[in-house]
Amino acid sequence: MPDISKALYNMRLLDDLAQKDSSVHRINSLVKLLTTVIYLTVVLSFGRYEIIRLMPFVFYPVLVFAFSELPAAPVIKRILLVEPLVIGVGILNPLLDNQRILLGNVAVSRGWITFISLFIKSSLAVTAGILLIATTGMGKLASALRLLKIPKVFVLQLLLTYRYIYLLTEEAARMMRAYSLRAPGQKGVRLKHLGSFLGQMILRTFDRAQRLYDSMVLRGFNGDYNTGIKEKLKLKDFAYLVGWILFFTIARIFDIPNLLGVLLTGVIV
Amino acid sequence: MNAVNTDCTERNGLIESNKILYTEVDIMHMADALISPIVGGTMMAASAGIATYSIKKVQSDMDDKKIPFMGVMGAFVFAAQMINFQIPGTGASGHIGGGLLLAVLLGPYAGFLTMCSILLIQALFFADGGLLALGCNMFNLGFYTCFLAYPLIYKRITRGKVNGVRIFVASLLSSIVGLQLGAFSVVVETLLSGKTELPFGTFVLLMQPIHLAIGVMEGIISAAVIGFVWKARPEIMERTANSGAIGSISMKNVLAVFLVAVVLTGGVLSWFASSNPDGLEWSMEKTAGTSELEADGWIYNVMSRLQNKMAFLPDYSFKTAADDEVHTSESVEKWPAVSSGTSVSGIVGGVMTLAMAMSVGAAIRLAKRKKRKVTA
Amino acid sequence: MSHHKLEVRNLQFVYPDGQEAIKNISFTIHHGESVGVIGANGAGKSTLMMLIMGVLFPTSGEVLVEDVPLTKKTLPMIRQRLGMVFQNPDDQLFMTSVYDDVAFGPRNYMMDEREVENRVKEALEAVGIAHLKDRAPYKLSGGEKRSAAIAAVLSMQPDILIMDEPTSGLDPRARRRVIDFLKNFKHTKIITGHDLDMVFETCKRVIVIHQGKVAADGEGTEILRNSKLLENCGLEMPLSFRNCPVCGRL
């Protein structure tokens, strides 16, 4: 269960970070959501051999990171946690695509190019996602979804699932501790116990979730999640959105690094 | 998602890759980087369509107790997906998808929605499958289990009489079929996106057997959990069994919605992204009445350049192991980066851009920290 | 000022598995009364509270709040008058900060944010945790959580406050704080629990529940001295009524 408590800790951390105040935190949530999605789309639209042209896109996560005053270490740690996943998938590329490509004077397997490209794209995507949640938080994100006219049922379902995850993982950790204290030397739950273990977990958490839901309803909850903050669309939100979209479009169409390099080296390609 | 040493030798390529891919990576949760925007967008539309339909069906059936139960099941499957179990005999580990469990305990519509919310949370918080791959994941993990395996296999076997044996057989079969279909989808979606070099045959050989084993495990575990809940609180399952009969009629609706969504979005997106200027000319004819614009020549140039630049269509290269060089599409994405990527200016520019980004970021952080110190 | 009257008439409740939790309960609680509902575990106290709050609906009989019967339709209106603090504060606190949890109720009623702020401030000060308003609930100690849960209900300014085992699991100081708060709370209150000393200090009237029925209903000082009655119902006399364990004197 170390995985679960680690995951829970991560979620809590991101939740806490979302409560901070910074210029980025204050940007309208819907704007941040849209910007992130557009960013992802554009970054992932690059072909599999592109590396250099991805560089300008580093500006987005770096700037957001800088302006949001998020602590560097925990966020970077979160990002690094996902890398093995990507490495695992991409590491085969150098093996499978053996065509040699000349890079300047060095012959390199083309598979390495695709691998690096994949790695960069994935890192950018992951970072963007984490930055979104670390500067917005689940509550405001849910409001943003409602603004997109996503039905109350689904958003409520999302919020509750999110809240209950804490409950349930606590319950799971508790049960796991009790189990392992009576099953020394065993790593994990034995298969024949898994059914009732999981079943108990569900039922217990169900009772608890029912009580939690009751307490919400008893305090007037009727499906609409009111965070008390009426997010208005201000000029700076609009500027944020338009500014980034413009940047993404330009960086997608024009090969900025190359132009820059041309300027610097005075070599005409 | 534990890091495993990525040591691999070329010698036993297939077996080694098997181990790495499997023990490290949960392919059923596709990562963003594997998906091209078109595939991602299409699947997103498909999943969104199904989700909307499900929401409508769920709203009419909603009672106060169902909401927290959906939330709990969502949290449960979320947590369960983090529990890895050893698959006996293979030295590998896996975890359950949970789709079947959700379908049985909540009904297919609520189950699908719950799966969607789980995946959304995972995408936001764990980058487990990113936001763009969300549509694919919802479909792979949710559709096949809730709308195919559940009604066509599980319900049919447990119709009339529910007992331990039937639950077991039904769960086993449904899980296996659901996962096989899901795994195959992953293969298709990845290849259509053209983001890895894995040839079709190899990929299939990797995915299917592994997910067969997982399917068996998931079937057994699901059966155990379902059996437990059924014995302890049968009223939960009776409610889902009686509500919203999944007759062939509603199935057809779901499939119809899905097909329409796929065709529409896939077609529209592909058309827009097509670097084939015919598309542009056709629209020119329709709007301006001529296929040639003289006064607006400048716009046309910009537009066609735009189209060329935004060639989203990836390589549709179904590689075979023997042949590396087969490019069957007419996409613009060849190895154009060769020119800028290997040229000095390109590399210099790239490094400069990166350096600029980093230094700007660092400068801002420093400035902010100084400001804090002053105002503190 | 209307009289906040709560009446329970011939209440009966049977669980889906056939267990009859409440057999036939009737009583009336008047404005400003403080009533302790005591009984052994499983006697039906919590179920009774659930029925009063409208979380469960009786198999027969009815609950009337200010002479208005509790039905699905009148539920929202009646719930504005009643506030219930659950036994386990973790069941009640789920936001990311104490402030948000306490603000949850008023916000659901679409109040102006300034009004919300006032109410939250008042509620937090009433229980003495104003300094914790930005803390995350899961980081609080047991006593602080309990206070936060109470504040979360107080911010709705209910006419009748219902508390399920308010002192369970608290250390002596936290317990004392809760007791002091209850003594100062002048509105109608219903308190269930095993902490008979607390009940004695805070409630004038006591209702004893035994096996789903009312075993006694009267003055707290009288009932809590009736050791035979208490023992028949699975309870004991409060500790403060007994002999000193060290010197043997009362």
d(CA C191, CA C182): 9
Flag if A166 and C91 touch (Cβ within 8 Å): no
Domain tally, chain B: 3
Same domain, B260 and B290: no
Quote the pLDDT of residue C202.
92
To the nearest whole Å, the CA of A218 is away from the closest chain C CA by: 6
Query: Which domain does B349 fall in, by range?
Result: 337-375
Residue C99 makes CB contacts below 8 A (sequence gap 6+) with: C120, C133, C134
**Domain boundaries along the sequence of chain C:** 1-81+160-169+186-236, 88-157
d(CA C193, CA B229): 32
Quote the pLDDT of residue B77.
85
- Is residue B260's pLDDT more than 70? no
Which of A4, A99, A260 is opposite residue B82, by nearest beta carbon?
Answer: A4
Quote the pLDDT of residue B185.
85
Q: Are A234 and A30 in contact (CB under 8 A)?
A: no
Same domain, B60 and B112: yes
- Is residue C206's pLDDT more than 90? yes
Quote the pLDDT of residue C35.
94
Same domain, B296 and B342: no
Quote the pLDDT of residue B272.
47
Quote the pLDDT of residue B309.
41
Contacts of C110 in chain A (CB under 8 A): 226
Mean pLDDT of chain B: 66
The 3-class secondary structure across B182-237, one letter per residue, is HHHHHHHHHHHHCCCCCCHHHHHHHHHHHHHHHHHHHHHHHHHHHHHHHHHCHHHH
> Mean pLDDT: which of B22-31, B175-184, C210-219 is highest?
C210-219
- The four Cα atoms B72, B74, B76, B82 give a dihedral, to 10 degrees, of -160
Quote the pLDDT of residue A106.
64
Quote the pLDDT of residue B253.
61
Contacts of A262 in chain B (CB under 8 A): 345, 349
Mean pLDDT of chain C: 87
Query: What are the average pLDDT values for consecutive 10-residue runs of chain A, which has 269 residues?
Result: 65 80 84 88 78 85 86 77 66 63 62 77 82 84 82 82 78 79 70 74 78 84 67 83 89 78 63
Residue A225 makes CB contacts below 8 A (sequence gap 6+) with: A139, A142, A143, A146, A155, A156, A159
Quote the pLDDT of residue C111.
80
Residue A251 makes CB contacts below 8 A (sequence gap 6+) with: A42, A53, A56, A57
Same domain, B225 and B343: no
Q: Are C167 and C195 in contact (CB under 8 A)?
A: yes
Q: How far is CA B238 from the centre of its chain?
A: 32
Contacts of A15 in chain C (CB under 8 A): 96
- Is residue C47's pLDDT more than 60? yes
H-assigned helices in chain B? 13-24, 37-61, 66-80, 99-106, 108-126, 134-138, 155-157, 164-193, 200-232, 234-242, 248-273, 277-288, 297-309, 337-342, 344-375
DSSP bridge pairs for A107: A102
pLDDT in tens, B317-352: 222 222 233 333 333 333 333 333 345 666 677 777
- Is residue B14's pLDDT more than 80? no
Residue B326 lies in a domain: no
Residue B317 lies in a domain: no
Same domain, B216 and B280: no
Q: Are B26 and B211 in contact (CB under 8 A)?
A: no
Q: What is the mean pLDDT of residues B199-217?
A: 78
Chains touching A (at least 3 CB pairs under 8 A) are B, C
Put simply, the chain A residues between 190 and 219 with a CB less than 8 A from any chain B CB are 191, 194-196, 198-203, 205-206, 209-210, 212-213, 217
Q: What is the mean pLDDT of residues B214-218?
A: 84
d(CA A47, CA A37): 18
Same domain, B300 and B343: no
Q: What is the mean pLDDT of residues B170-189?
A: 86
Same domain, B106 and B173: yes
Q: How far apart are the first and last CA of chain B?
A: 41
Same domain, B288 and B342: no
Same domain, B249 and B217: yes
Superfamily grouping for domain C1-81+160-169+186-236:
P-loop containing nucleotide triphosphate hydrolases (3.40.50.300)
Same domain, B256 and B216: yes
Same domain, B263 and B299: no
**Hey, what amino acid is at A2?**
P
To the nearest whole Å, the CA of B275 is away from the closest chain A CA by: 14
Nearest-by-CA chain B residue for A156: B67
Question: Considering the entire predicted model, what is its pTM?
Answer: 0.71
Quote the pLDDT of residue A90.
63
Quote the pLDDT of residue B312.
31
Task: Give the CATH number of the domain where residue B218 resides.
Answer: 1.10.1760.20
pLDDT in tens, B277-329: 343 344 444 444 443 433 334 444 554 444 444 333 233 222 222 223 333 33
- Is residue B202's pLDDT more than 60? yes
B196-200, C119-123, C145-149, C191-195 — which is least confidently predicted?
B196-200
Predicted complex ipTM: 0.77
B131 vs A247, residue with greater confidence: A247
Same domain, B285 and B347: no
pLDDT in tens, B69-104: 788 888 888 877 776 666 665 555 667 788 898 988
> Mean pLDDT: which of A182-196, B38-52, B186-200, B339-353 is highest?
B38-52
